[in-house]
Amino acid sequence: MQLRPPLYTLVLIAAALCIVVLSAQECVNDEYGNCKSTERSHDCLDPPEFLRFVSSSHRDKSVISSLRGTIENVISAEDASAFVNSLPNFIEASGYEKNTNGKTYAAPQGYAALGLKELKPHSDAYSKIMTIREKVRSATEKSLNICPGSLYIDFTTVSQKVEGGAHRAHADNCIHYFEDGVAKCDTTRAHPYPKRVAASILYLNHPRSGEFEGGQYFFANGTNHGEVEDGGIVDISTGKMVFFTSGIENLHGALPVLRGENKAAEPRRLALALWYVFDKSLMESAEASDANAPTEIFTLPLPNGVDMEKALQAMGMYLVSRQNKPMIGAWKVSKYGDSALHVLFKDHSAMFSITYTKAPSSMVVERHTDTNKRASLQYMLQESVMLHAVLDEAMRLISETELNGSSEIDLFNGGLSLARSKLPARQA
């Protein structure tokens, strides 16, 4: 069966787009095999034109093929492996999901990640990621025929998927549903990143070097209940990237990562994902770590008898139950590594984290923002409401465990009132 768009068509489209972008100008291959021009194209689309073009795809499906594509050899296999070798350890992350009984649990997704914040500025890994992400960003911009300099990266992540790691079909800027098999954006539900316009994923290893099978990227059919599109599976190879606009025109996901031929080897699939916006104020700060160090809001000492894992689990569930307060999609809670919870506000201006430490036992609450951004006023108001509730819950959870003697009770009560004194007064 020959259905649109098989992989080679995507590649041809990418190449054709490149030629269209450069119109009458000459297309010179640069060292990465991408066509390149020193002159600014007259035919490029500025942000409003591009958004209109994307919208037209909802009426005219033939437009969709111009809103996605793949490019081979964006970086060399040597550069990819040098970059991977320079990286620090990945951090296990998981989202909260509901099981069939409606119970919420932290679902490990065979997925671990590293963001810019985990890389030390001026380190080898940092300078490598800065170079690679700009290469990918400009290739995406050019391939989508967006005028140079219009796309800003709002989030960078290096992801590691291990056995079972997969992604269900989704759009990147809205929550979708199907009406008679046709994907629609649910405008009644808030998405954390409604302003995203495009994304790209650059593969950093190969099924052979990563000892995996499967794990392919796929486009899901927006007119057929999100079934994998015919010809919509993108095979993975080192240095290859896939780019696509963020709306329901490009529902996409990843097939599960499986063990490779060598069943004893742990499969590991690595990719660099970038998401883009037109709004410069949402640009991810390039100055990482030091300048972005989180601000401590408070540290609550906990009794030594507290089981930290259970405490984190219980607090995670509690936070999940408040994710839609005071509005749908207000907060997004995820478990980060073994000892922390991340709680991101819907306007993405800031998040807070709760880290459980041992010896001494404590609960550390910190606020994270990017250097070039300030937490919004709305975030600050909702943060204090949420953190008062967190302290109430910490107290409720502790009173169910044994406090060992009056000195621990005093320590805990003292910690609670100190923590509250650091928050704005409780809302009525």
Ligand X SMILES: *[C@@H]1O[C@H](CO)[C@@H](O)[C@H](O)[C@H]1NC(C)=O
Q: Which residues bind ligand X (CB under 6 A)?
A: 3-4, 221, 223-224, 229-230, 232, 304-305, 404-405
List CB contacts of 218: < 8 A, sequence separation 6 or more: 169, 228, 229, 232, 233, 234, 252, 253, 254, 255
Q: Of 91 and 182, which CB lies nearer to ligand X in the complex structure?
A: 182
User: What's the CA gap between 3 and 10, in Å, rounded?
Assistant: 12
Question: Comparing C-alpha atoms, which of 288, 286, 282 is closest to residue 374?
Answer: 282
Output the smallest distance, CB 405 to ligand X, in A. 6
* Residue number closest to ligand X, CB atom: 224
Q: Of 165 and 222, which CB lies nearer to ligand X in the complex structure?
A: 222
Q: Burial of 365 by CB count in 10 Å (0-12 exposed, 13-18 middle, 19+ buried)?
A: buried
Output the smallest distance, CB 225 to ligand X, in A. 8
Q: Of 304 and 371, which CB lies nearer to ligand X in the complex structure?
A: 304
Question: Comparing C-alpha atoms, which of 351, 97, 334, 327 is closest to residue 189?
Answer: 327
Output the smallest distance, CB 65 to ligand X, in A. 10
Output the smallest distance, CB 318 to ligand X, in A. 25
Q: Of 7 and 381, which CB lies nearer to ligand X in the complex structure?
A: 7
Q: Of 14 and 202, which CB lies nearer to ligand X in the complex structure?
A: 14
Count Cα atoms within 13 angstroms, Cβ side, for 135.
26
Output the smallest distance, CB 299 to ligand X, in A. 20
Output the smallest distance, CB 61 to ligand X, in A. 9
H or E stretch covering 293 = none
Output the smallest distance, CB 375 to ligand X, in A. 38
Q: Of 6 and 108, which CB lies nearer to ligand X in the complex structure?
A: 6
Output the smallest distance, CB 181 to ligand X, in A. 7
Q: Of 228 and 273, which CB lies nearer to ligand X in the complex structure?
A: 228
Count Cα atoms within 13 angstroms, Cβ side, for 119.
24
Q: Of 61 and 396, which CB lies nearer to ligand X in the complex structure?
A: 61
Amino acid at 315: M
User: What's the CA gap between 110 and 93, in Å, rounded?
Assistant: 9
Angle between helix axes 124-143 and 7-22 (nearest 10 degrees) is: 80
User: By the 8 A CB rule, do 341 and 331 touch?
Assistant: no
List CB contacts of 190: < 8 A, sequence separation 6 or more: 327, 328, 329, 330, 346
List CB contacts of 242: < 8 A, sequence separation 6 or more: 68, 69, 70, 200, 201, 217, 234
DSSP per residue, 174-207: S-EEEETTEEEE-TTS--S-TT--EEEEEE-S-T
Q: Of 258 and 397, which CB lies nearer to ligand X in the complex structure?
A: 397
Output the smallest distance, CB 213 to ligand X, in A. 23
Q: Of 26 and 180, which CB lies nearer to ligand X in the complex structure?
A: 180
User: By the 8 A CB rule, do 368 and 355 touch?
Assistant: no
> What value, to the nearest 5°, has the Cα angle with vertex 349 and ends 344 and 352?
40
Q: Of 360 and 405, which CB lies nearer to ligand X in the complex structure?
A: 405
User: By the 8 A CB rule, do 277 and 202 touch?
Assistant: no
Structure tokens at 314: 């219980």
Q: 3-class DSSP state for residue 48?
A: helix
Output the smallest distance, CB 146 to ligand X, in A. 24
Output the smallest distance, CB 229 to ligand X, in A. 4
